[in-house]
Structure 1
């Protein structure tokens, strides 16, 4: 499956789902749309806990999660009102919730692309890598998911995900790139251009050397909740497989996250 995108639109009725969502959007008020999207998000979270972590999931747990997300969203909206009422002054003690982190996804500038990546390491199940690239309108341009048989420590796997993402960006001719990862150790090593004599720093050096082929590369640390698309991709493929996709062949596993991320992006 190396380098082959899967046309999901043909297989699961993409156009029909899109038309249904557009109809719902026209009929609902703003508050109802928020509740709808929170419900979708909570159901998807519970689905992943059941599928990947084998946790027990029931309707009551989903409802509790919806209420929790709604409270967090209310806190974020309240904070926004506080910022607006402060006459442009930054609020010194800023409350940061999980929902705020997810909503804080920022679209890149017009000449830039933003690339998110993640790695997932599970004993006996190899190492999964996920990469997604989006443009200034928040639209997915391309992405990839890959699972290797080898298993590395987490920070090396996260650095490998960055290296794969940057190589793909170079092949596609991007010049201004924002690289986002939820691995703080990797981002700090790249920002400070750290060096060392172990396998981790060998990958870091490969990444920094590759940066010479770009006009500008910016490193950014983000929360796991803000990196949901790449995170899901890192758990998608089976061992030994690789899937590369573009805007017309987005894998089903990230379709909902793509919609939600773009809805909340700025």
Structure 2
């Protein structure tokens, strides 16, 4: 028996778990056994405009999660479904309403200066965050395609060996590993460490400990049909830096390929 739209998007148990995380669930649960148009009309008279703007993204996120179960057999956490809906709203507001209060404009939002790669390429941004008092360093990696879609995110904690550039070089190597795991090729590596980039491009030389990592970076493109590394200012690299700070609270490396936990999805949604 085919389920109707109301049951799929509102009435079924999985959908209700998502709606329970929304502030206006108390209104939704009173609208049982109606068609979706009637539900929207009822809510229009009860809720604020901002609430109504979240309803369609929530329905879309529920439908997306439902299809993952049907087509892939993967059950999604309701919190992730809710976060996906909120991220969709934020993305829309940044694009369509850049001057709306509470939504950073393109000139004020540091991450907006990130530029997508050419068609068919992937950009791999990485960074290191240092915690001097504990002699720890967090490494963060994010991979995006030409549309800006985040395909992979990764974190790793390591020991801080007293040289920031050395940690930045480790972050680049970690980024290359994640790109290989995500099967992203060809890639453009972006690092906000000018020293690491110039050493990797052989524009300068060094006898410091960083050399071992740089040699590995230099060896990697030889096995690729197309690859490059380039310097970007820190404000191009906000997502990777945020992930690097998160890594400081983890004990082991983690790589996420699109299916992000709620903590990471909420962080990434700030930069969609």
Bin for the TM-score computed over the shorter chain? 0.5 to 0.7
Secondary structure of the structure 2 residue equivalent to 1:36 = coil
Aligned partners of 2:116, 2:229: CA distance in 1, in Å?
Answer: 15
Q: Which has the larger radius of gyration?
A: 2
Deviations 1:49-103 (A, max 9, x none): xxxxxxxxxxxxxxxxxxxxx6xx5xx5xxxxxxxxxxxxxxxxxxxxxx47632
Select the structure with the greater relative contact order (CA < 8 A; seq sep ≥ 6).
1
Q: Name the CA shift for 1:204/1:251 in 2 (closer, same or farther; >3 Å).
A: farther
Query: Would you say the 8 A contact 1:232–1:253 is kept in 2?
Result: no
Q: Name the CA shift for 1:31/1:132 in 2 (closer, same or farther; >3 Å).
A: closer
- Residue pairs, 1:245-264, within 5 angstroms: 245-250=256-261, 252-253=263-264, 255-256=266-267, 258-262=268-272
Which shows bigger deviation, 145-154 or 109-118? 145-154
1:127 lines up with 2:137 in the alignment: yes
Q: Normalising by the residue count of structure 1, what TM-score does the alignment of the two structures yield?
A: 0.63
Secondary structure of the structure 1 residue equivalent to 2:219 = helix
Aligned partners of 1:133, 1:24: CA distance in 2, in Å?
Answer: 20
Secondary structure of the structure 2 residue equivalent to 1:235 = helix
Selected match of 1:223 from 215, 229, 233: 233
Aligned partners of 1:28, 1:115: CA distance in 2, in Å?
Answer: 23
Selected match of 1:35 from 101, 107, 110: 101
Q: Normalising by the residue count of structure 2, what TM-score does the alignment of the two structures yield?
A: 0.62
- Residue pairs, 1:195-234, within 5 angstroms: 195-234=205-244
Match of 1:10 in 2: 77
Secondary structure of the structure 2 residue equivalent to 1:35 = coil
How far off is 1:123 after superposition?
Answer: 1.5
Selected match of 1:243 from 254, 261, 268: 254
Q: Name the CA shift for 1:132/1:24 in 2 (closer, same or farther; >3 Å).
A: closer
Aligned partners of 1:207, 1:30: CA distance in 2, in Å?
Answer: 40
Query: Would you say the 8 A contact 1:148–1:240 is kept in 2?
Result: no
Secondary structure of the structure 1 residue equivalent to 2:238 = helix
Q: Name the CA shift for 1:255/1:110 in 2 (closer, same or farther; >3 Å).
A: farther
Q: Name the CA shift for 1:219/1:26 in 2 (closer, same or farther; >3 Å).
A: closer
Match of 1:160 in 2: 170
How far off is 1:183 after superposition?
Answer: 1.1
Query: Would you say the 8 A contact 2:140–2:243 is kept in 1?
Result: yes
Match of 1:111 in 2: 120
Match of 1:82 in 2: none
- Residue pairs, 1:71-110, within 5 angstroms: 76=107, 99=108, 102-110=111-119
Aligned length, in residue pairs: 197
Deviations 1:138-195 (A, max 9, x none): 1111121011234331000001100111122234443311111111111122223544
Deviations 1:89-125 (A, max 9, x none): xxxxxxxxxx476322111122111000000112233
Aligned partners of 1:143, 1:226: CA distance in 2, in Å?
Answer: 16
